[in-house]
Amino acid sequence: MRVLIIEDETQLADALARGLRRRGMAVDVAYDGASGLEMAQINRYEVIILDRDLPVLHGDEVTRELVSGQAGPRILMLTASGSIGDRVEGLDLGADDYLPKPFHFAELAARVGALARRPEASLAPVLSRAGITLDPGRRLASRDGAPLRLTNKEFGVLHALLAADGLLVSAEDLLERVWDANADPFTNTVRVTIMKLRKKLGDPPVIKTLPGAGYKI
C-alpha cells in the first residue's frame, strides 16, 4: 500500500511516516498543500493523510482537486479542530474520513488500513487467479489452498499483478505502486522481488515476463 502524508508539522509528518513504514506501507511526505497536490497528481496512492490547515495551498483546495477525478485516492483529513461542524464540512468536501488532533497513532493506522480496504467499484475485495487467492484486507495469500509467507513488497507486487486481471503490468508501474518516492527507478529491485515471489509461488510458474514490457499472471 502506498500512502502520501501532507502535513506542515514536520516532526509529526516524519513520525507518522516512520510508524506507517514499520507497518509495511510505502510512504511519501509533503510539507505544504501545493507540493502535496503535485505529488498526488504524479503518483498513485491508495490513501492520502491530509492536514486541513496547510500553507501555500489550503487543505480544502487540495481535497477539491483530488476528488474531482473519477477514481481518486481515499482521503483521511486531519485538523486541530474537533467540532462537529468542522467534521461535517470536511466530509462534505469529499474526504473519506476525519480525525481531529491530537490523536493516537494506533487509531490513525487503523483508519488508514480501513480506507485502503474499501474496494474500488470494479475491483473485488478478494482477488483470485491461476489458483492464487489474495485477501488485501486480512493480508492473506495462498496458492491452491496452501498459505504463502510473503514480505510486504512481495504481497504488494502480487496484489498489483492480480488486480490487473491478466493484463500486462510494467516494472515502472510496479515500482510506482509498491515502493515510495525514494526508490531508485534504475535499480533491479522489481526484478529481484519478482524472482523471489516466483520461488514462493512454486510450480507450475504463473508469472510471465515479457522482456522490456513487464509482467502478468
pLDDT, residue 124, reads 52
**Domain boundary pick from 117, 139, 158:** 117
* pLDDT, tens only, 134-158: 988 778 899 999 999 999 899 999 9
**108 and 23: one domain?**
yes
Which residue range is the domain that position 170 belongs to? 127-216
Helix or strand (DSSP H, E) at 147: strand 146-147
Q: Is 122 part of a structural domain of the chain? A: no
DSSP letter assigned to residue 169 = B
**134 and 195: one domain?**
yes
In whole angstroms, give the CA distance from residue 1 to residue 47.
8
**133 and 110: one domain?**
no
Inter-residue contact 19 to 109 (CB < 8 Å): yes
**62 and 144: one domain?**
no
**Domain boundary pick from 58, 93, 117:** 117
Give the number of domains in the chain.
2
**148 and 55: one domain?**
no
pLDDT tens across the length of the chain (217 residues): 899 999 999 999 999 999 999 988 899 999 999 999 999 988 889 999 999 999 999 999 999 888 875 557 899 999 886 667 666 776 778 888 989 989 999 999 999 988 887 765 444 578 889 999 998 877 889 999 999 999 989 999 999 999 888 899 998 889 888 887 777 766 788 999 999 999 999 999 999 999 888 999 9
Q: Is 37 part of a structural domain of the chain? A: yes
CATH number at residue 137: 1.10.10.10
Q: What is the pTM of this model?
A: 0.64
- The CA-CA-CA angle for residues 38, 213, 181, to 5°, reads 30
Sequential DSSP letters for 17-32: HHHHHHTT-EEEEESS
For β-strands 132-135 and 140-143, DSSP reports them as antiparallel
